[in-house]
Amino acid sequence: MYSTLITVAELTTILEPKSVSVIDCRFDLAEPSAGRKAYQVAHIPSAVYADLAQDLSGPPNTDYGRHPLPSPQRIIATFSRLGLKNAVQVVLYDDSGGMFAARAWWMLRYLGHRAAAVLDGGWPAWQHAGKPSEASDRQVRTTEFHGATRRDRLLTLDELDSTQDLVDAREPRRFRGELEPLDPRAGHIPGAKNHFFQGNLDDRGFFHQPRALQQAFMTTLGKLPGSETVHYCGSGVSACHNILAQVHAGLDEPRLYCGSWSEWSADESRPAAQGDG
């Protein structure tokens, strides 16, 4: 079972006998239709497409950020429509270093499905290796995917407090409040530390080795993150990349505040911190 990352070579060995479900999660925040269009041009054989806005987000249920987490019933319905089965390995990929794939990975774990892994290097690595692709939309038969939410791994706005170890996955300039292109106010949640998710990757777009990931978290937090660490970002997407990195590093699985800065900053009564502190 692959539960964090899977390499192109490893995926190839299980793709041929078709003992895996593959989900293409490519997306472009600036052009929401670009991911599906790219999928229709070429994708990993047998892959189905999951759209961040339409499939991996939904009507507000636990949070009111830009990409709200769908209700458990809606998530289960989506994974069923995508043809997932509880006993089957799931592999997720994108062309953004795993940022969008990690959101789907986290949602599967949230429902208790541990046999889920992000393709290390994503679509670029698959292409670079000269692996085959196919075009057009793939139709799959709807299954009966089941899951039970691990509610302790999700934190809502009202459950946040000043004693928690908060980790912000956004780029440093947004964290410091120097610019804010998307949300109502600039800055970050007071007390949070900035751990930019892109730092989980090397210059080729592959995740660093577990030891290096541990050391990076130590540098950010002054200690290793644990199960009570809370990750957030702008809208609960890139935070999942940090969660994936933490678990791949062999550390305890932390919690996600999915509403993230987009929800926090929309409430003017909540403070916004500036700078590095």
CB 109 within 8 A of CB 92: no
- List the catalytic residue out of 25, 233, 240, 258: 233
Q: What is the pLDDT of residue 19?
A: 86
Rg from Cα positions in the chain: 18
SS3 73: helix
Q: What is the pLDDT of residue 175?
A: 98
- Note down pLDDT in tens along the chain; length 277 residues: 999 999 999 999 999 878 899 999 999 999 999 999 999 999 999 999 999 999 999 998 889 999 999 999 999 999 999 999 999 999 999 999 999 999 999 999 999 999 999 999 999 999 999 999 999 787 889 999 999 999 999 999 999 987 899 999 999 999 999 999 989 899 999 999 999 999 999 999 999 999 999 999 999 999 999 999 999 999 999 999 999 999 999 999 999 999 999 999 999 999 999 998 7
Q: Name the pTM for this structure.
A: 0.97
25 is catalytic: no
Give the Cα separation of 11 and 132 in Å (integer): 12
**55: number of Cβ within 10 Å:** 21
Strands (E), the chain: 5-6, 20-24, 48-49, 89-93, 116-119, 154-155, 166-168, 193-194, 230-232, 255-257
Tokens of 208: 């660093």
Q: What is the pLDDT of residue 61?
A: 86
**Domain ranges for the chain:** 5-149, 152-264
- Would you say the CATH fold of 152-264 matches that of 5-149? yes
Q: What is the pLDDT of residue 205?
A: 97
Q: What is the pLDDT of residue 136?
A: 79
Q: What is the pLDDT of residue 114?
A: 97
Evaluate whether the domain defined by 152-264 bears CATH number 3.30.70.860. no
**Positive or negative, the Cα torsion across 250, 253, 257, 258?**
positive
Query: What is the H or E stretch that residue 239 is in?
Result: helix 238-248
Query: What is the H or E stretch that residue 10 is in?
Result: helix 8-15
Main-chain dihedrals φ then ψ at residue 48, nearest 5 degrees: -110, 160
Q: What is the CATH number of domain 5-149?
A: 3.40.250.10
**173: number of Cβ within 10 Å:** 12
